[in-house]
Structure 1
Amino acid sequence: MMVDERNTDGFFIRNKSVFVMGLISLIIAAIADLVAGLFLKSMEEYIILIPGMMIMIYSAIGMRGNIFGAMGSRLGTSMHMGTFKMSFKKNSVLRSNIEAAVVLTLSLSAIMGVIGWAVIELFFERTIEPLSFIFISLVGGILAGAIVIVFNIIIAREGYKRDWDVDNITAPLIAAAGDIATVPMIYLATWMVLNTDRIFIDITCILLLVLTVFITVALLKRKVKRKRKMDEAKRIVKQSMPVLTICIFFEIAAGMIVESGTSAVVKYGVLLVLLPAFLNEGNALSGMLTSRLSSMLHIGTMESRKYPNGPAYENFLIIYILATVTFLFIGTAAYIVQPSGLGYGTLMAIVLIAGLLTTTVINFLSYYVAVSAVKFDLDPDDHCIPITSSIMDMVGTAILVTIITMMI
């Protein structure tokens, strides 16, 4: 018995940093996401009026997390390896990541707008003009992306200055910043489409598409002066673009699941408020775990194996504990800020059952994605977070909507 107690004490002491910093960042993220949920509640009219708005909102939220969560993971790894400097000089780690994030935000917002519009045309009876939908995606993406880039830089600066392990805080805080920035910016872009002359919207959309192509091509054709010197921004874009484009389909699938359950979600306002927080916490937990596993694989503190080993299972337990606390907090806070006809017991049952099922998938998916990236000689920071986040957005949404359908 004494051995077990010592092992338990050792587990919490050994992981004090992740429990303290991780839990604080998750709670801060949850509060921010509940604010985003309240903002989403205020968008009910647009959600009902504009076809595919739930697809757009959740795809945009997921894409923001994919781009900037991966950026945060790369910066965290560079800090672990001692290559990070708080510098905006050409070819510095920070500037390269900013350049790549700008190009990926522009190009993927355009791609998401096109694919999203096509999905709405194919699978839903309602319709919307393609340039209008692409405009919402591009303008919302650019404005939200600008906010999240600044936030990412602040986290990197503070983490570097204070010697934090940013793997424990980047994923939840960046995901929350993405949520709280994306929903209002999508709202603003949608308002512009509904209240601005159609010609202006079409011309602006076309100009933004031309600008996106120009900036993307310019970066991909950029050459370095010194031989054997790698252009990090170019590498990030080339390696990230294919996987992030594939991830768009997972994000759109998540949006379609939410869109199909819109009537039930809108009926109980607490569920509409809860949705961004629930999905972001799943996204944040997967991002946190993936960042930790990626860094461990990079620096050699965990081996790539067919089955999870001790360090992996220890991290799984950490995520279960963090998930239980944060999902309890989310459900209770959502019930307080948005009372509805749904009872507290029912709401908490929905949140905890869906949350713990989602966490189980997160643990094993994050491990095997990280290990597979190493096996195929890919950078886990570029591929793991986008893949796990996108799949978890779809899986987490499906689990939550299924539990809601079964219990109300």
Structure 2
Amino acid sequence: MSFGDKVRNAFRVSLPSLVLSLVIGFFGGTFLGKYLDRIRKSYPGLLVILPGMMGLRGNVFSSMASRFSTMLYLGELEPSMKDRKVLENVVIAMLLSLIPVTLLWAIGVIRGIRYHAFEILFIVIGSTILVSLILGYFTAGITILAFKRDVDPDSLAAPLVASMGDLLTIPTLIGFILLLEASGKAFWTLNGASLLLLLVLWFLSRVRFAEFLKYKQLFTTITALAMLSLISGFTLERFSGLIASTVILGFAYPSILSSFGNYGSIIAAKTSTKLNLGEIESYFSREPFEEILALLLTAPIMGVLINLFSAGIAYLLLGLEPRFALELAVTYPLMALFIMLYAYSLSYVLFQHNIDPDSVAIPLIANNSDIFGTLYVVAIAKLMVGA
């Protein structure tokens, strides 16, 4: 594929999925921007857990999408939702998601954020089960559909999956909070039903402990990364007031994090597939850098759109005069380039050490993108308010 073809593919396939994921991400951002002060005052522990939850779902399900893609190309998975491996992977993903978020909650409590701690635990557990079920089948569906239509799943699935996670995560958390405050009985009933659903699906999938151990490497990775995400969580909790003061960054925060993760995940997924197929001979092979450059050409468009969307939402919801954040528009492509180079380098090094990039690189990149993205948002907030 020539460089021109890569550029056309970036604008024809990746950019539409990136823009769509951006729009989806702003749906969650709208909820966060609207309820940020309420969460800060009544449920501060959620701010510590939130980046980890967002990153975790990107880690688990982007990795699942990349794994499905590789399995489809190698003929190990039938392009059908009825394949037993689909349900197995969905159940395993649900289990992989629950344990780390519970640990995040526990660490938040140990660190002293105990206000409404018990309620926060079940807000996190209930929402994780429901979102993981929806996101698991969405991941399988979008990957299989893309493959059946001769569209590269690696270019399409990762951004949509990560953004669908953002779409569901924050509104679901807010929904559980509002349900708790409106009716405690309904809240606890829904949590009980969610746990029962998990047990039923686990039984139907016939996933046994020995099969779960096959994902030990992925589980260890995402659990360690969930702990690492506490950097983002405590940073968000500490600087939430500063971010809220800029207004637009409160709305843009989920989309900024997910878009950086999307750029990294696309490059990591493409690199993983090409390495498994033997199409990258050395680190300085020309093709992966052409892929990065082609995708980088879409970044200025994304930076402008983030500005426009966040300013528009702030105007519609709060009646504030729109402001174009030049600080964000100028620096966004540079940050996207850094993320993509990091994603390629990490995927290549891991593969050379016989570590599956699908199971390790994509989760690590998504997590690190959240950390980098949170620090980036704080830095932009400081520039915007002159702090």
If the length of structure 2 is used for normalisation, what is the TM-score? 0.87
The aligned amino acid for 2:45 is G
SS in 1 for 2:151: coil
The aligned amino acid for 2:51 is Y
The aligned amino acid for 2:91 is V
1:162 aligns with 2:139: no
C-alpha separation between the residues in 2 aligned to 1:176 and 1:185?
A: 14
C-alpha separation between the residues in 1 aligned to 2:326 and 2:137?
A: 35
* CA RMSD in angstroms, aligned pairs only: 3.1
Tell me how far 1:304 sits from its aligned partner.
Answer: 4.5
CA 262–14 in structure 1, closer or farther in 2 if over 3 Å, else same: closer
1:134 aligns with 2:121: yes
Tell me how far 1:368 sits from its aligned partner.
Answer: 2.2
1:145 aligns with 2:132: yes
The answer to whether the 8 A contact 2:247-2:314 is kept is yes
Residue 48 of structure 2: which of 52, 55, 59 is its match?
55
C-alpha separation between the residues in 2 aligned to 1:38 and 1:206?
A: 28
The answer to whether the 8 A contact 1:29-1:173 is kept is yes
1:113 aligns with 2:102: yes
Tell me how far 1:301 sits from its aligned partner.
Answer: 1.0
The answer to whether the 8 A contact 2:100-2:222 is kept is no
The percentage of aligned residue pairs carrying the same residue is 21
Superposed CA offset, 1:149-184 (max 9, x none)? 232132123212211101111111111110111111
Look up the match of 1:318: 294
Look up the match of 1:282: 260
Residue 57 of structure 2: which of 56, 64, 69 is its match?
64
Look up the match of 1:390: 367
Look up the match of 1:250: 228
Once the two structures are superposed, the pairs formed by residues 9-408 of structure 1 within 5 Å of their partners are 10-44=2-36, 45-88=38-81, 92=83, 95-122=84-111, 126-197=113-184, 201=188, 208=195, 219-222=207-210, 235=214, 237-305=215-283, 308-339=284-315, 344-345=323-324, 347-353=325-331, 355-408=332-385
Tell me how far 1:250 sits from its aligned partner.
Answer: 2.6
The answer to whether the 8 A contact 1:66-1:386 is kept is yes
SS in 2 for 1:381: coil
The answer to whether the 8 A contact 1:279-1:393 is kept is yes
C-alpha separation between the residues in 2 aligned to 1:192 and 1:114?
A: 24
The aligned amino acid for 1:164 is V
C-alpha separation between the residues in 2 aligned to 1:365 and 1:169?
A: 20
C-alpha separation between the residues in 2 aligned to 1:55 and 1:401?
A: 15
The aligned amino acid for 1:43 is Y
Structure 2: gaps spanning 5 or more residues: none
The 10-residue stretch of structure 1 (182-191 or 110-119) with the greater mean CA deviation from structure 2:
110-119
C-alpha separation between the residues in 2 aligned to 1:75 and 1:378?
A: 17
Tell me how far 1:220 sits from its aligned partner.
Answer: 4.5
If the length of structure 1 is used for normalisation, what is the TM-score? 0.83
Instruction: Say how many residue pairs are matched.
Output: 379
The aligned amino acid for 1:167 is D
Structure 1: gaps spanning 5 or more residues: 1-8, 223-230
C-alpha separation between the residues in 2 aligned to 1:234 and 1:99?
A: 13
C-alpha separation between the residues in 2 aligned to 1:263 and 1:284?
A: 27
C-alpha separation between the residues in 2 aligned to 1:174 and 1:330?
A: 19
The aligned amino acid for 1:87 is S
The answer to whether the 8 A contact 1:76-1:167 is kept is yes
Superposed CA offset, 1:261-320 (max 9, x none)? 111222232211111111110011111111111111111111243xx3312221221232
SS in 2 for 1:87: coil
